[in-house]
Amino acid sequence: MTETTSTLPITSREFQLAARPVGAPTAANFALVERPVPELSDGQVLVRNTWMSVDPYMRGRMDDRPSYIPPFRVGEALEGSALGEVIASAAPDLPVGTTVTHFAGWRDYAVIDAATATPVDTSLAAPQHYLGVLGTTGLTAYAALTNVARVEPGDTVFISAAAGAVGSVAGQIAEKLGAARVIGSAGGAAKTELLLDEFGFDAAVDYRKGDLAGQLAAAAPEGIDVYLDSVGGEHLRVAVEAMRPGGRIALVGAISGYNGATAEPGPDLYLAATKELSLRGMLVTSHFPLFGEYIAKAADWLANGTLRTKETVYTGLDQAPTAFLGVLSGANTGKMLVRL
């Protein structure tokens, strides 16, 4: 038997991939279409999406090439993390009124298997935090600095894209893990000031000013021990050069090359070898067992004010492509979200 609210939608809007981009994507790569809402099968729920996330990794899914996650298909709905309310249920464990996160974003309404939805406690934190600081964004920062490139007390830590969703959380976590000095890289005076004044970084470098190596050397004259890389290219090369022997690097992303731009010179791997550095890639999905541990800590940190978060919010499903393109160009401070 299906449990429902009083009225249910007949149709739902969704964004589909209209064409694969060549270089940087544009609005022309997206198509907003209206489709019927399918009937529920046993074990499914209908969710009214209220928030959705747009993230840099989605750019790779717009290309038709093998990767750790299948590419989007032209003419089919895009997907990504979203949060919403169950408004019809054929799954006893997820009754009407439950707030859940799931992976069927980019649409107003989603019919999903209950097994793919995660109930969240909105009394613990604001709902949208489960797409950001309490979601895979925050878990990425935590896992990177505890499992992948472990921060030890007294370390000097360098964070790229430090005013973004992952970086802004990572800098604060590094301090909680005992780092003696935390340095962030961001673009522009407003963002570098935010790193110091809001997120508690000890130093900030503005990559838009150029001479990234010189700025990092001034901020960390004795070198760095840990680097969280979300940018690749010059940032990674400079970090390897600045690393102390035995340093650790978490390779989280490489947004500088996501649009097929001419590749910047990569790191000197011989230098990495002679310094005995560890460069380790990470997919957050491999660290999901840490979620319970992380949320318990992060929720307390949020509540006592020692973990601060920022959001850049666009309103309306029709604004989702604009928000996504903004992530790729660095228009966001903190987590980029779309409120539906």
CA gap 176, 83 in Å, rounded: 29
Residues of the chain with CATH 3.90.180.10: 3-125+312-339
> What pLDDT, on a 0 to 100 scale, did the predictor assign at position 13?
98
Angle, vertex CA 235, rays to CA 143 and CA 221, nearest 5: 95
Give pLDDT tens digits for 50-77. 999 999 899 999 999 988 899 999 999 9
Q: Candidates 3.40.50.720, 2.60.40.420, 1.10.3720.10, 1.10.10.10; correct CATH number of 136-285?
A: 3.40.50.720
Q: 133 near 335, Cβ under 8 Å? A: yes
Strands 156-159 and 181-186, how do they pair?
A: parallel
Residue 52 near residue 320, CB atoms below 8 Å: yes
Please name every residue paired with 74 in a beta bridge, in sequence order, or none if there are none: 17
At 256 the pLDDT is 67
Give me the pLDDT at residue 262, please. 56
CATH 3.40.50.720 domain range(s) in the chain: 136-285
Give 232's DSSP letter: -
Give the containing element (helix H, strand E) for 94. none
Running DSSP on this structure, what letter comes out for residue 320? H
Residue 173 DSSP code: H
> What's the token pair of residue 46?
């209908």
CATH architecture of 3-125+312-339: Alpha-Beta Complex (3.90)
Q: What share of residues in the chain are helix, strand, coil (percent, to 5)? A: 35, 30, 40
**Rounded to an integer, what distance in angstroms lies between the CA atom of residue 41 and that of residue 99?**
20
CA 197 to chain CA mean position, Å:
22
| Helices 165-176, 136-143: crossing angle, 10 deg rounding | 40
Q: Which residues are CB-contacts of 130 (< 8 A; sequence separation ≥ 6)? A: 83, 101, 120
Query: Phi and psi for 60 in degrees, rounded to 5?
Result: -65, -30
pLDDT of residue 4: 76
- What are the tens digits of pLDDT across the range 111-135? 999 999 999 999 989 999 999 999 9
268-293 confidence digits (pLDDT tens): 999 999 999 999 999 999 999 999 99
Q: Which two tokens stand for residue 202?
A: 């000890």
Query: How many other C-beta atoms can be found within 10 angstroms of the C-beta atom of residue 239?
Result: 26
The single-letter code of the amino acid at 153 is: P
Q: For Cα atoms 301, 149, 297, give the angle at the middle one, nearest 5 degrees.
A: 15
Alpha carbon separation from 6 to 9, 40, 86, 88, 96 (Å, rounded): 10, 16, 13, 10, 11
**Regions of the chain where pLDDT drops below 70:** 1, 5-6, 256-263
